[in-house]
Amino acid sequence: MSQFDFNNIITNTDSYKNCHYALYPQGTEYVSSYIEARGGEIPAGMFVGLQAFLREYLTKPVTLEHINEAELIAREQGMHFNRDIWMGILRDHDGYLPVEIEAVSEGTVLPIRNVLVQLVNTDPKYHWVTTFIETALIRAIWYPMTVGTIAWRAKQQIRDVAEATSDSEGLIRRVLHDYGARGVSSLESAALGGLASLVSFSQSDTIAGIVAAKRYYNAAYTSSSGPNTEHAVLSSWGRENEADAIRNMLETYRHVGVAIVLTDTYDHENAVKNIIGGELKEIVQNFPGLVGIRPDSGDPVQVTADTAEWLMESFGYTVNSKGFKVLPSFVKVVQGDGVTRHSFPRILMELERRGLAIDNAVYGMGGGLLQQVNRDTMAFGMKVNAICVNGEWRDVSKAPSGDGVKHSKAGRLALVTDGEDFKTVRRESVAPEENLLQPVFRNGKLLKMWEFDELIANSEKEVPESYYLDAVAEIRAAREVDSVTNGEVNSAASGVNA
């Protein structure tokens, strides 16, 4: 018996896809399909992940063993399976799927309701192939793009707060760290989500994401990390020896120049004030690099700001040109617990409300980054938009009366830009050179290879504020309230003094 290959594209689908080849109109020669993010809670997204799927799955041929495996599984289920059509692909195309795929450049940020990917079969005998791979292809795009979008939006929040509270340059890509490997559903999810996060941030402990960025996008340097303790290590010393456990960490990794210390194994406030800022104060002050203080419990909004202020009580602070307090460079807060796309802006807002610069903390996002998403977060869909029957193209679309979000686009599509915004139009309405969809795959071969640096560069291009305004609106509203409140307080104080 064979080993049953997870890379078998014939079984990387829903069972019912096996019966669809016979259900298209008689004379169907070509089927065009497209992918878009249709709605959900996010107005614009960063496209990423297609190349990983193409290289892992579609550049590898279907084999006789794959066909045998798929037939066995289908027949065990009582599902119809047409062996001849797959043997035809093996015979006519050496096992490579006869399909052409075009897509927008990876790393591009664009509004929802725009075409991202469009595909069509290249051999009329196999018109059904474009929709057969829907399950695998839509999953390969919705997941990394959703994770990449959450990371990109967090970067815009960081940028907004940094401009208001920080004098530091080069800060933005170092603020959010990917801690999602253990909280994600699979190794492949960690890989795809991890590489998507790395487009926006150069900090990660998700090794699978680093491997994926290198494997699929030829990434060179992707991220940094450093020694970071955990509760198993600290608690093994016993409560009475907590200070010794932390001292050991600082001494052991002094030569590295980074030591991230958990301080909530027992009593976080005591550890920060009396161990870090008391018994070990001199060691921390003389550490040749950064000592990160990591609370791992409590309300992340309050504990991040509280910890920063407790550290300032022990180690002092400076006030930057924007009037915000900044810890000495050798110590800062590392908040990795409870950080999600919903809590993160509130954490930043609380720091700013207390007059604390964004420099005072860095963050780790785990399951909130890589796992707390689904296909409906951005309402992804892949739909047929046109078919060619007996040499004539027909528009195809769906328009369910009960759900406008699920209305699909008709006709072969193109993506264009006016230099500021994007628009999806009919393919025949624009010159080919205006179409931002470019062929990336045909008949088993990559036509375009994106380098990871290109993804980063594309993601950092300036975009209209409307793409992320909802992500920073709460932060800006709180800033405005604080400004008004502080102005009223200062006016009242001036009146009293007068």
212: nearest Cα among 173, 254, 174, 181: 181
Token representation of residue 280: 């070990």
Please tell me whether residue 205 adopts helix, strand or coil conformation: coil
Whether residue 328 is annotated as binding a ligand: the answer is no
Whether residue 364 is annotated as binding a ligand: the answer is no
369: nearest Cα among 198, 113, 157, 220: 198
Q: How far apart are CA 105 and CA 438, in angstroms?
A: 8
Token representation of residue 251: 């001494």
Whether residue 367 is annotated as binding a ligand: the answer is yes
427: left (phi over 0), alpha (psi -120 to 50) or beta: alpha
Please spell the DSSP secondary structure of 402-458, one letter per residue: T-GGG----SSEEEEE-SS-EEEEEGGGS-GGG---EEEEETTEES----HHHHHHH
Whether residue 144 is annotated as binding a ligand: the answer is no
Whether residue 395 is annotated as binding a ligand: the answer is no
Q: What is the CA radius of gyration of the chain?
A: 27
317: nearest Cα among 307, 306, 327: 327
238: left (phi over 0), alpha (psi -120 to 50) or beta: left
Token representation of residue 78: 């009582």
113: nearest Cα among 468, 336, 311, 381: 381
User: For residue 230, what are the CA distances in angstroms to 236, 319, 333, 362?
Assistant: 10, 33, 16, 17
Whether residue 482 is annotated as binding a ligand: the answer is no
324: nearest Cα among 473, 474, 168, 169: 168
Please tell me whether residue 126 adopts helix, strand or coil conformation: helix
Whether residue 123 is annotated as binding a ligand: the answer is no
Whether residue 173 is annotated as binding a ligand: the answer is no
Q: How far apart are CA 362 and CA 33, in angstroms?
A: 42
Question: 331 — phi, psi (to 5°)?
Answer: -145, 140
What b/e readout covers 432-461, taking b as 16+ CB neighbours within 10 angstroms? eeebbbeebbbbbebeeebebeebbebbbe
Whether residue 316 is annotated as binding a ligand: the answer is no
Whether residue 337 is annotated as binding a ligand: the answer is yes
What b/e readout covers 337-365, taking b as 16+ CB neighbours within 10 angstroms? bbbbbebbbbbbbbbbeebbbbbbbbbbb
* Binding-site annotation, residues for beta-nicotinamide D-ribonucleotide: 205, 294-296, 336-337, 367, 375
* Binding-site annotation, residues: 182, 205, 231, 294-296, 336-337, 367, 375
* Binding-site annotation, residues for diphosphate: 182, 231, 294
